[in-house]
Structure 1
Amino acid sequence: MRMTIQSHDITLQQIVKQGIFFQIPVYQRLYVWSDEQVRTLLDDLWAAFEDQRPIAYLGGILVVTRHQDHSTVEYDLIDGQQRFTTLWLLALSLGQELKPFLAGEHNDGLRPRLGFPIRPDIEKAFKASCVSGKAPSIEHDKIDTALGVIQRFKHEREEARLTAFTEYVLNKVTVVMTHFPATMDLNKIFEVINNRGVQLQQHEILKARLLQHIGNTAERERYAALWESCAYMDDYVERNLRSIARFDVHPLFSNPAARRDDEQLAWSACVLEALSDKYSANRNSSSLSLADILAGRTRALPEQGSEPPEVFQGTRKVRSIITFSMLLQHALRIWLNEQGEPDIPRINDKELLSLFDTHFLKAPRSGAKAKKFIALLWEVRYCFDKHVIKWVEVDGEEHHLIHDLRKRTTEAASGKPYTTLVREEASDHAFALLQSMLYHSQQITTQYWLTPLLAYIRANRTGRASYLRQLKHLDNHLLCSDDPRPLIARSHVFLEDASATMPLVDPAKVLNEASGLSFAHYWFYKLEYVLWSTNAAQLNAQQRTQFRMTAKNSIEHISPQTAQDVDLDTVSGEVLDTFGNLALVSRGINSEYGNKPFNEKRKHFENRNRERIDSLKMKLIYAHKRWGDAQARQHQQDMIDLLAGYLGQSNAE
């Protein structure tokens, strides 16, 4: 008898109505999503909600029937469990219209919609939360982090909008649910999963659409090499070019030119000319097929030897802060501005093709237009790799760093000199730290500040000191503005005029409110940068060098909301939720501190921060031996004065 595999769309509301429950099988990982992955999913859902898309597809899940009776059905969730677990955690944190998805009536009473038999302690804690409506107390870093990200998402939005959002998620978020027969061998199921065809990504289809307008074979292959080099984001673009085109790039780089931002590698015309010199003059004049283009095929460059000499050393493992689809949209915005065309309405990975269809691929279409855009894309990507932070692995941890390209000439054992290109950490810590602050405080799927920054660097090429001044100006006038327009519209102002100004918000107006958990996390992150740049926290040289921005998603009350009777260092209800009594921490630290007395938190902070300071605001707070209304109010005023002074300095530039 043939086993059938069936697929169909299903919404969360339909899951509720059909009495469906899920279990994460013991052979599957419990939960491993990072802070970034959770933020990306939330941003995607919110974008779909704001656009009021009729359906918000969230990918697929694969299930095997575990048990079924007249009113309920239980499935093992064998693929898609990370995304689906995040949805369930969202329901746990937000509640409201999502409560029916969170849990349902079963034979043994109220039962969570998602079960974790691999971790009975977590399952018990989640069940208790479903009943009490309170946040669970669990020991699992990834789940704890995800809940913290969702709490931040919640506190940054108005209650009425969140209610509408939860209704939208319940009724419009759709997954493709594929059923495998319960009798099917588990190994066979995983074979089917592993052999599923990988769908072409939107940027691969876009590449084909652009390159098909370049009629000359030699030109098409050169521009294809540029595109492919830009497309892989988790290495440096010059390394990609060497790998893809078997091309020795070091003649296009010199240290003196790089210090002026004028190395040949930075200019697409120079790279294209060098590629042209390397390609054979006698090539087949037939056009590449669409299949060839999509497969990323380019003719190998002729070499005297089988491979160009190794010219790279010392590059650590790196990871981009944005996807290639996002880079394409930042480049498109720069292109449209240079052409005097209207800006795109939003940056959205899932709308890449439709955005290019509307704003670029419309008539007139030509090879010249495609070539100019790909040439611009190379220059934007080169500026991005040279001057924008990446996640760089250092001693098993990832940090936001900028690594500069340098050329070295070394004498081999034979006495013959050879050249290497190396990546070394840049000394411009302030520039990297400011970018890191913006990355952590802004929407992870857009990062609108990048467009005007990349446009400025590409157009001016005046060095890091001027780029830092521009980024400070951009940060203050873009993100500390009273201008009510959407962020993308405000960022476009700085594409048209890099020195544009906007009315700045008064920090006192924002930070004197007792907003508690609703304070925008941006102000905490910005304060950390201002404290570092002014050294108001009096760090020594080593502490300044080692200071990093890290992902923080929980607001901590220094004097807790529910103080212990033994705590003598407390604030009044009037001061409790003010900026002076708050700090931004990781959810793990927030749980550790809990409602411990001030002196215990102070000792804990000092012990954890002996070598590297995690929070400069907390360093100032815990410099106090006692804590009360007077200290919290004074700290708040000091921080407001510091921010106001920083904004005033920027405004005068």
Structure 2
Amino acid sequence: MKDFSIRDIFTGNYSIPIYQRAYAWSDKEIETLVDDIYDYSLDSNHNYYIGSLVVHKDHDDLENVIDGQQRLTTLSLLICYLKNESNYKDLVEDIHVNLHFESRKRSTDIFRQLKKNNEKVFDESNELVDGYRILKKKLNNEKYNERYFRYLIDNVILIKNELPKDTDLNHYFEIMNNRGEQLEKHEIVKAHLLGRLDGADEMGRKVIAEVWNACQRLDKYVQIGFNPIIREKIFGEKWDDFIPKDYFSIKKVFEEVNENDNSFSGSITIDDIIHLGDSDKGQNKKSQKDDDDTGRYHSIINFPNFLLHVLKLFNVEGFKWENESKGISLDDKKLVEQFETHIKDAKDVEGFVYMLLKTRYVFDNYVIKTDNLNDATDDDSNWSLHKPYKLPSKSGNKLSPRNTFHGDEATQEIVVKIESMFQVTDPRQIYKSFLFGILRILNSWIDNKDDEKQLVNQLLDFAKERFRAVTVDGTFFDKGVHTPNYVFNFLDFVLWYQQVIEGKKHRIKASDFEFKYRNSVEHFYPQNPNQAENHERLDDESLNNFGNLCIMARGHNSLRSNLMPIAKIKEFSSTSQSLKFELMEKLAKLNDDWNVKEITDHGDEMKKLLLEFIS
């Protein structure tokens, strides 16, 4: 087992065995890897370990990749991009990527074409081409400069483990699949919090353990985690409010409830601290029968990431988009060190625990989730915004969900649209700065939540601030595929808002529109039209004009890439596409053409609409 830099790892010839799945990394995984490396490159004195590569040689000159092929393939595509299209070709001129896909001749051929920078390969619908496109779009940013790529090549480390030639691979896979679970980082954080309390504060330990266990299951409402007696004292008679004003008011609730009522799970042992997954220990039989929560919702973040949002709320007062990456990181790889840095004594622990429970209540009630029970989508975008309340029935009280703003349909729709717009733009958990900003707004608003119009206005301003932040240089509209995704999603929101909420007419069916994971910028008039059919290539200025661009799912992008606009309209329905795409379709049909005039007219109209809305 040895450490290898990216420069050194590619001295071998690698083969992806037939039993390995095809390359499957999407923009989420690829962009996370690129950004993680960037974060660590800021401290160039330390290496960044990105995982292991397990190989097995059955021939002297070929190494079969047993584990780590997704990461290795991504790095191979990245080196191809640097050699083909970057300004830093000299950094990688001595690096040669050799990747063979056993029994996948097409993948092997496509990879060879990518190495040669053959432009025809970009017409292919293939996962390797998609990965290359994602890297090209991501890395075409001035922050990924020579310093970054030098760090990438020399300081990003893979741990390479070469299995002995006589290894029984079937047995190896069996061991890999049955290996035990390690202690998770958030479990270490809980132990850190408990360790900061006074040794004699037994009640404080019990409160923290109960709150923690109730908060860690993000697929169930937090009320479920508490005994019904405590539940009513914290969340009100109808279980739909948040009553405590600070940590000590939470602690007082537990002190007032007699332990003989089974309010606690018993004394806290070291084993309890470590084995946090067994959260049902904190619930007695009565509490399990006295609700009806089935875990139907899927959260947009996981618990470690949620903890970092709460820590940031606890330590950071304001939020500005231009400073979104500063301060406490939302990268859960740094979870333990962040808590050790910012939670130093009992006072910090008490303040954090109160913020944890309050934010979890806010998160449950006012942040979108996906509803597994009624999900008919193909990309997990069935957005819901529900608030639980106590529903009395013959069989006992139940926790039942309904729309958070059930008396105000317009507010309900606006909040869902704004939050889902941000989510599809930034789906990666560790870069959800928008969620921190929204939680900050909600945590402040919840203290005086009598004016829902005020909340809507704050969220609208927040969305406009994001638009101003990504468009600060004034050249954001006409950048072709490098136009920020948020610009397109924000435009769709404005079109929806003006038509559905304000009653303006835009020649679209906005009432049925939903935000989905449309993450690929597409040219409506193609970059490489079929010249054999007498279709001319547009000049770059017209081709990359905002009027010729739309955003869609990456799979559609691959299928549509070289079709002419009229052919695209006939081939694919606009009902599942963006509102901008629908407007482009209407204009193309109206003029029976899509060329420079239509592009310019549509682009000017959309730019004017956006700039007027934010002003």
With the shorter chain as reference, the TM-score category is: 0.7 to 0.9
**Farther-moved stretch of structure 1 (637-646 vs 187-196):** 187-196
| Matching residue's letter, 1:63 | V
Where is the helix percentage greater, Structure 1 or Structure 2? 2
* 1:328 corresponds to 2:307: yes
**Farther-moved stretch of structure 1 (272-281 vs 348-357):** 272-281
* 1:386 corresponds to 2:365: yes
TM-score, normalised with respect to structure 1: 0.78
Mapping of residues 461-540 of structure 1, within 5 Å? 461=446, 462=449, 464-481=452-469, 505=472, 509-511=474-476, 514-535=478-499, 537-540=506-509
Counterparts of 1:378 and 1:100, CA distance in 2? 50
Counterparts of 2:605 and 2:318, CA distance in 1? 46
Counterparts of 2:494 and 2:194, CA distance in 1? 46
Q: Is the 8 A contact 2:387 2:401 kept in 1?
A: yes
| Matching residue's letter, 1:125 | I
Residue in 2 that maps onto 1:229 = 214
Residue in 1 that maps onto 2:184 = 201
**Farther-moved stretch of structure 1 (637-646 vs 30-39):** 30-39
Q: SS of the residue aligned with 2:183?
A: coil
Query: Cα 1:395–1:449, aligned 2, differ >3 Å: closer, same or farther?
Result: closer
Query: Cα 1:66–1:468, aligned 2, differ >3 Å: closer, same or farther?
Result: farther
Quick one: which of 433, 437, 440 aligns to 1:448? 433
Q: Give 1:58 shift.
A: 0.5
* 1:596 corresponds to 2:560: no
Counterparts of 2:5 and 2:466, CA distance in 1? 38
Quick one: which of 142, 148, 172 aligns to 1:189? 172
| Matching residue's letter, 1:614 | Q
Q: SS of the residue aligned with 1:399?
A: coil
Q: Give 1:558 shift.
A: 2.4
Q: Give 1:621 shift.
A: 1.2
| Matching residue's letter, 1:194 | N
| Matching residue's letter, 1:226 | V
Counterparts of 2:69 and 2:162, CA distance in 1? 14
Unaligned runs of 5+ in 1: 1-6, 106-111, 483-503, 649-653
| Matching residue's letter, 2:38 | W
Residue in 2 that maps onto 1:399 = 381
Q: How large is the RMSD of aligned CA atoms in angstroms?
A: 3.8
Query: Cα 1:307–1:185, aligned 2, differ >3 Å: closer, same or farther?
Result: farther
Quick one: which of 524, 528, 552 aligns to 1:585? 552
Deviations 1:409-459 (A, max 9, x none): 464xxxx35322233455522212222222333483222222232122122
Aligned residue pairs, count: 580
* 1:422 corresponds to 2:400: yes
Query: Cα 1:373–1:429, aligned 2, differ >3 Å: closer, same or farther?
Result: same
Residue in 1 that maps onto 2:100 = 115
Counterparts of 2:264 and 2:415, CA distance in 1? 48
Query: Cα 1:263–1:47, aligned 2, differ >3 Å: closer, same or farther?
Result: same
Query: Cα 1:330–1:585, aligned 2, differ >3 Å: closer, same or farther?
Result: same
| Matching residue's letter, 2:13 | F
**Farther-moved stretch of structure 1 (573-582 vs 191-200):** 191-200
Counterparts of 2:238 and 2:291, CA distance in 1? 18
Counterparts of 1:299 and 1:218, CA distance in 2? 20
Unaligned runs of 5+ in 2: 500-504
Counterparts of 2:583 and 2:14, CA distance in 1? 48
Q: Is the 8 A contact 1:226 1:378 kept in 2?
A: yes
Q: SS of the residue aligned with 2:58?
A: strand
TM-score, normalised with respect to structure 2: 0.82
Query: Cα 1:257–1:193, aligned 2, differ >3 Å: closer, same or farther?
Result: closer
**Farther-moved stretch of structure 1 (556-565 vs 620-629):** 556-565
Identical aligned pairs, as a percentage?
A: 24
* 1:132 corresponds to 2:117: yes
Q: Is the 8 A contact 2:220 2:293 kept in 1?
A: no
| Matching residue's letter, 2:583 | L
Q: Give 1:59 shift.
A: 1.5
Q: Is the 8 A contact 1:389 1:436 kept in 2?
A: yes
Q: Is the 8 A contact 1:254 1:407 kept in 2?
A: no
Mapping of residues 141-180 of structure 1, within 5 Å? 143=128, 145-155=130-140, 157-158=141-142, 161-180=144-163
Q: Is the 8 A contact 1:334 1:451 kept in 2?
A: yes
| Matching residue's letter, 1:374 | V
Q: Give 1:116 shift.
A: 1.8
* 1:375 corresponds to 2:377: no
